Amino acid sequence: MTTNGATAAKAKKASPVGSAANWVDERVGLATLAKKQVRKVFPDHWSFMLGEIALWSFVVLLLTGTFLTLWFKPSMAEVVYNGSYDQLRGMHMSESYASTLDISFDVRGGLLMRQMHHWAALIFIASMLVHLLRVYFTGAFRKPRELNWVIGCLLLLLGTLEGFTGYSLPDDLLSGTGLRAADGFVKSIPVVGTYVSFFLFDGEFPGDAIISRLYTAHVLLLPGVLLALVGAHMLLLVFHKHTQWPGPGRTEQNVVGYPLLPVYAAKAGGFFFIVFGITALMGALMTINPIWRIGPYDPSQVTAGSQPDWYMGWPDGALRIFPGWETSLFGFTIPWNVFLPIIVLPGVMFTILLMLPFIETWITGDKRDHHLLERPRDAPNRTATMVALMTFYGLLWAAGGNDVLALVFNMSLNNIIYFMRVMVFLGPVLAFIIARRWCISLQRADENRILHGYETGVIMRSPEGAYAEKHLPVSADEAFTLTARDRDPIMAAPTEADENGVAARKVHLNRLRYKLNQWWYSHNVQKPTAGELEEARHHAEHELAVHQGEIGHSADGHQFDGRSDTQNESPRQH
Amino acid sequence: MSDHTTDVATREPADEPIPNPGLHEHQPRPTDVDEAAEKRAERQIAAFFGLSALFAILFVVAYFSFEIGGEPDLIMGYGASNLTLGLSLGLALLLIGIGAIQWARKLMSDVEIVEMRHPAASPPEDRAIAISSFEAGVEESGIARRPLIRNSMLAALGALGLPLIVGLRDLGPAPGSALAETVWRRGMRLVNDVSGAPIRPGEVEIGQLINGEPAVFFRNDEEGEPLYEGVELNQAKAKAAIIMVRMRPEEITPAEGRENWGIDGILCFSKICTHVGCPISLWEQQTHHLLCPCHQSTFDLADNGKVLFGPAARALPQLPLMVDDEGYLVAQSDFNEPVGPSYWERG
């Protein structure tokens, strides 16, 4: 900049924003922190929005939840209801139920906030689950992001616990029934079950402590841990930079997209308001958990069709279809029918979920960093594994509504249970096989597309009378995108024993690993080499030229496929 | 498997079939080249924000206009307050979101930019410095050279676990035999769970199911206060709730020792499911089956409450009945086994 003016250069007067930033920078070094992040690049794809829904619904939960705490009284002390709701006035109930009624009927906007809070909770867990599926199916959990997968799994677990503690708080008949079942669950734990129950409820169920204890967990402990883990999840996301789909200009070494300021900030910030707004509309238009309908908790009452919130449905389904097994040994009882499906199974399933990235790495031996996403078809066993898990989950979830299924479809409840007992084992295996083969077929279709081009829909007849569909090469962009994936790494066959002939156990393990590795990749279609592609193109051109000679130029296949200029061509006149 | 370790930077297979065509040139949007389109977008976005503010004001209007509680289904079955508050708040929020995203899509630059990635791992020299610093620190502390200090410190830290665990002891009392007993005693009347009225055998019809409770829940002490109320009532009720059914005596097959537990075909069972403890009351009078609404365990009341189907493992405990001097149904004793879900010490 040249300043050869007549007057002396004067320091520009700092704007209020500038001086504020200056004040902060001199104290915390803000600029160094900000220089890399302000224009940080985020790649764009609709599926990257799923995690955002989870994040924003969590914020909605914090806001609406804080509003609710201003009136909710987490106490089981008995009071006589004196509020606006006629049908329950004069009844004895716990303070927590009475205050929930007050929030619903005597605080303006209270019912709205309660319903928004409940809807946001359902959206929170649903979006975490779908986000998890997206991350898994696209291989976004691979190195270096395994720890973020683990954090995400913990968030799902804590979110579920938040949900359970939350819907137990109003102390209406439904929530009390849920707590009573939970009491039965913990009592089934061998040796310490009754102690856990008595320590949880401060004595015999229902006691007068459980609501206030759950409340502390629900509004302090769990959200605190959730908030910390959400922070860690986001920090790791920023540190690793977001994964991206392969495409022109996108590589393992770069990230292509829009800058945080302004585009991503506006989109993500705007999306917060959209999630918040939709939750508000749901709270206005869709009644959820109308706690006033069935009255306060009474341990001798229950309603038909009692069910937990949907995300608790799958362990409840396992509980429903489990055979009535119980063992008495030396005067002690082990209720397997409760302990296995509701205490052990969720723990096992969660561990499997947590371990998925590590199991896959162990089998594939792939230690490379991965920043380009993989399509589900390009990892058939990975895809099939999750499809099998989803099938298991889905069947148990359906079993959790077996009474509703029996009623709606007029089927025998017993037959549904027999069916489910078999299908929870058979279904995942079938689903695995089908998903795996499906993926491999899609890989083959992709290979065909690269090597032989796309189907034009133009049928050509040779002079001999044979029919063939004309293929044309796909665009350079598409061809690149289809081949922008890694070749499967090849694992060296394990040696029989190490140099000293010891560590035989490791040898067995390595052999198992090698077999798994062979099976993992055995049917995969690798992308063509440059030579193969060249040969296929040559062949296709030759074929086209031959046909071109046979049928003349009018059917070159370009007219109606929308892929090429038709200005100089006119449709054939009949 | 070190043979597969390939650094990101060097992973570029030689026979990549198709070269990366590179990033496309930026295609201008209508709003980039057409000033009228740009102005239109600007007005659109400002309209979204303006409407949002309008709805925020409407929220305030709705807040003060509509009573709550009194008219829970004023508009299309919805409470007027909840509906109007929710709609105005929802639209105020939604319109800000739509405006911001429209702004980003139509007017903010949509030129994609490229940023290079860096390996997550620290550079080797940083690692070396970190390790040697750590080792120097450990060395200076002398923790490796002084096992006595190290071990006693570990023992002290371990011992701190004790107060941590013991401090939680008063979370609740020990279970003792509480779960094995209920308030039922010999001679205690069975009463209707709503009215508290005692029941004569003649009042129960064949096929009927009555939800009952022990009479003690409806009794007052000398000062007129209920004997059981609040937590005590709920705790006692959670174990003592019962159901009474009357079947034809010839349909009942009592187990050995239970022949005289019923009165003219009236039998009494615990209402608490032996699976996880839901109160059971779905009664099929034709088949004498009782179904739990929570997890669908089915019990046969004509056959000593045995489990017919479902996840429960134990029969419903039966309460032996007799008739007192005034002709009302009373218990012969407490249940002779614990009611409700199974647990370790149950035996």
For residue A317, count CB atoms less than 10 angstroms from its CB and return exposed for 0-12, middle for 13-18, buried for 19 or more.
Answer: buried
> Chain B residue with minimal CA distance to A492?
B3
Structure tokens at B41: 């977008």
The yes/no answer on whether domain A50-303+312-374 falls in CATH 3.30.980.10 is no
Which pLDDT does position A13 carry in this prediction? 65
Contact A183 B117 (CB under 8 A): no
What are the C-alpha distances in Å from A331 to residues A191, A399, B179, B343?
12, 33, 16, 11
Which pLDDT does position A541 carry in this prediction? 80
A-B contacts at Cβ under 8 angstroms: 374
For residue A35, count CB atoms less than 10 angstroms from its CB and return exposed for 0-12, middle for 13-18, buried for 19 or more.
Answer: exposed
- In A38-192, which residue ranges form alpha helices assigned H by DSSP? 49-69, 95-105, 110-137, 146-168, 173-187
Contact map slice: A 22-61 vs B, CB within 8 A: 39-41
What pLDDT digit, counting tens, does each position of B299-323 carry? 999 999 999 999 999 999 999 999 9
Which pLDDT does position A539 carry in this prediction? 84
Other beta carbons within 10 angstroms of residue A539's beta carbon come to: 12
Which amino acid does the sequence have at A380? P
Q: What is the 8-class DSSP label of residue A122? A: H
Farthest-apart Cα atoms in chain A, separation = 104
Contact A285 B178 (CB under 8 A): no
Closest partner residue to A300 among B83, B100, B213, by Cβ?
B213
For residue B22, count CB atoms less than 10 angstroms from its CB and return exposed for 0-12, middle for 13-18, buried for 19 or more.
Answer: exposed
DSSP three-state, residue B242? strand
Domain boundaries, chain A: 50-303+312-374, 375-488+524-559
Which pLDDT does position B80 carry in this prediction? 86
Which pLDDT does position A370 carry in this prediction? 95
pLDDT in tens, chain B (347 residues): 333 333 333 444 556 788 889 999 999 999 999 999 999 999 999 999 999 999 999 999 999 988 876 555 666 666 788 999 999 999 999 999 999 999 999 999 999 999 999 999 999 999 999 999 999 999 999 999 999 999 999 999 999 999 999 999 999 999 999 999 999 999 999 999 999 999 999 999 999 999 999 999 999 989 988 999 889 999 999 999 999 999 999 999 999 999 999 999 999 999 999 999 999 988 998 999 999 989 999 999 999 999 999 999 999 999 999 999 999 999 999 999 999 999 999 97
Distance, first Cα to last Cα, chain A:
70
Structure tokens at B302: 């004509």
Quote the CA–CA distance of A137 and A387 in Å, as a whole number.
Answer: 9
Farthest-apart Cα atoms in chain B, separation = 101
Taking chain A (574 residues) in consecutive chunks of 10 residues, what is each chunk's mean pLDDT? 51 79 92 90 95 98 98 96 91 95 93 97 98 98 97 98 96 94 96 96 95 97 98 97 95 94 95 98 93 91 83 95 94 96 97 97 93 96 97 97 93 94 97 97 94 88 82 90 88 70 72 91 88 85 69 49 52 48
pTM greater than 0.90: yes
Quote the CA–CA distance of B198 and B208 in Å, as a whole number.
Answer: 16
Is the Cβ of B173 closer than 8 Å to some Cβ of chain A? yes
Question: Which one, of B317, B265, B316, lies nearest residue B292 by Cα?
Answer: B316
What pLDDT digit, counting tens, does each position of B153-201 carry? 999 999 999 999 999 999 999 999 999 999 999 999 999 999 999 999 9
Contact map slice: B 126-165 vs A, CB within 8 A: none
Is the Cβ of B276 closer than 8 Å to some Cβ of chain A? yes
Structure tokens at B190: 């069975």
ipTM here = 0.92
Question: Which one, of A221, A218, A231, A206, lies nearest residue A163 by Cα?
Answer: A218
Is the Cβ of B231 closer than 8 Å to some Cβ of chain A? yes
Q: Say how many CA atoms lie within 13 Å of B309 toward its Cβ.
A: 13
What pLDDT digit, counting tens, does each position of A239-289 carry? 999 999 999 999 999 999 999 999 999 999 999 999 999 999 999 999 999
Which pLDDT does position B11 carry in this prediction? 47
For residue A45, count CB atoms less than 10 angstroms from its CB and return exposed for 0-12, middle for 13-18, buried for 19 or more.
Answer: middle
DSSP three-state, residue B8? helix
B76: left (phi over 0), alpha (psi -120 to 50) or beta: left
Structure tokens at B321: 């009945």
Structure tokens at A462: 């040779």
Contact predicate A338/A184, CB 8 Å: yes
B92 neighbourhood in chain A, CB within 8 Å: 277
Sole residue written with tokens 């608490």 = B272
A104: left (phi over 0), alpha (psi -120 to 50) or beta: alpha
Contact A271 B241 (CB under 8 A): no
Which pLDDT does position B10 carry in this prediction? 40
Question: Which one, of A339, A315, A316, lies nearest residue A326 by Cα?
Answer: A339
**CB neighbour list of residue A569: distance below 8 Å, 6 or more residues apart:** A558, A559
**CB neighbour list of residue A240: distance below 8 Å, 6 or more residues apart:** A144, A145, A148, A371, B120
Closest partner residue to B241 among A262, A299, A492, by Cβ?
A299
What pLDDT digit, counting tens, does each position of A50-102 carry? 999 999 999 999 999 999 999 999 999 999 999 988 889 999 999 999 999 99
Quote the CA–CA distance of A129 and B157 in Å, as a whole number.
Answer: 39
Which pLDDT does position B8 carry in this prediction? 37
A328 neighbourhood in chain B, CB within 8 Å: 347
Round the CA-based radius of gyration of chain A to a whole number and report it. Answer: 31
Which pLDDT does position B184 carry in this prediction? 96
